[in-house]
A = this chain, B = another copy of it.
Amino acid sequence: MNPAQRVNLQRLLAPRHIVFIGGDSAVFAAGQCAAGHFGGEIWGLNPQPNRFGAIPSFTSVQALPEAPDAVFLAVPRQGVPAVITELREKGAGGIVCYSAGFGELGDDGANLEGKLITACGNMALAGPNVFGLLNYITGAHLWPFSHGGKPVEHGPAVISQSGMLSGYLLTNRRSVQFSYVIGAGNQSVLGVEDYLDYLVDDPAVTGFGLYIETLRDIPRFAEAVGRALDRGVPVVALKAGRSALAAQTALTHTGSLAGQDAFYQSLFDRIGVARVSTPSLLLETLQMLTAAGAPRGRRLAAFTCSGGDVAMLADCAEQEGLVFNPPDSVTKRNLRQWLPEIATVGNPL
């Protein structure tokens, strides 16, 4: 990410104006954004006039009243490079490219993706083959599906190479409320490490939840994680692609090679990324680390209503190398006063 791209990413993530370009998906995304609390301007763009109802709309990039800070692009894939060129010439900031059918399709798509990259110049581009981004701080949503969630002042940010996974995370009932949800898609221009690098400096972001299939720039990723941890902002990653099959399918998902899993594991261990294996664990770990902070050691105390809970907790803890030290005699005596005769005083309690 060069300095010009960084400025354009800032425009994309905190836009004064957003233009939605395309048919049904763009119309839905624009309507959804207009229904929220976004304070800037919202425009639609489609060759057919009035396609966007009450939202001011235009029939060409040239006709837009100003260079848009943010663009949601959902046009047929063959037309993408030409529209992006027009947007660059107009002076647009950043683009979410919802259109798919690029590198993930093989040679023909890769050729088209090359044209897309050239057309971008220094614009910030998320995707292609991406749902988009949700900004729960300002309401600058570029997202073609219902998403729930609500405005927040701060919260963990999700950066994901899977749009559907972002969708699942957004419907969580575990009271995790996000500040940003950003799709990385094919990472043709910007990648996971760029969003991380940029958002590390945003005081509204209290933690990071990452879904990763591949990273493109390990040193930059490590440097950004280091800055996050220095600020006390935890980074939790669900890294897929352990298996040979997953590594192979990642190629056809976002055109990326998932890479050696052991390498990623040792990287995460070394730089302090908490790795999880399921979406539920991603949410719970993110919630725990952002609400309570990172644990300072391996010693735990637990309070339960059930001997069964005690047994299951003890099993889990031993597997993870955690320690339940027994209470000292004073604590034991104090607890005894509060508990019924039949209770066993111990840890877990």
Contact = CB atoms under 8 A, between A and B. Distances in A.
Q: What 6 A-B pairs are tightest by C-beta distance, nearest first?
A: A162-B308, A253-B307, A164-B306, A243-B318, A240-B311, A246-B314
A193 interface: no
Contacts of A254: 307
Interface in A97-137: 100-101, 104-105, 129
Contacts of A243: 314-315, 317-319
Interface centre among A129, A165, A277, A310 (most CB of B within 10 A): A310
B314 A249 contact: yes
Contact of A253 (B105, B279, B305, B308): B308
Nearest to A323: B245
Interface stretch (A6-14, A50-58, A195-203, A340-348): A340-348
Given A258-B311, A307-B254, A311-B250, A317 B245 contact: yes
A122 to B, nearest CB: 28
A249 B310 contact: yes
Interface string A275-301: 001110000000000000000000000
A249 B315 contact: no
B242 A310 contact: no
Contacts of A82: none
Given A249-B314, A250-B311, A252-B344, 13 more contacts: A77-B342, A104-B307, A104-B342, A160-B308, A211-B308, A240-B314, A241-B315, A242-B319, A245-B324, A246-B310, A249-B346, A252-B307, A253-B311
A246 B305 contact: no
Contacts of A311: 162, 213, 240-241, 246, 249-250, 253, 258
Contacts of A77: 342
Contacts of A315: 240-243, 246, 277
A188 interface: no
A138 to B, nearest CB: 27
A218 to B, nearest CB: 19
A161 interface: yes
Interface centre among A253, A279, A315 (most CB of B within 10 A): A315
Contacts of A317: 243, 245
A267 interface: no
Given A164-B305, A306-B162, A346-B252, A318 B244 contact: yes
A249 B344 CA distance: 9
A7 to B, nearest CB: 30
Interface in A318-349: 318-319, 324, 341-342, 344, 346, 348
A322 to B, nearest CB: 10
Interface in A226-262: 238, 240-246, 249-250, 252-254, 258
A318 B165 CA distance: 20
Contact of A308 (B165, B242, B346): B165
A161 B306 CA distance: 11
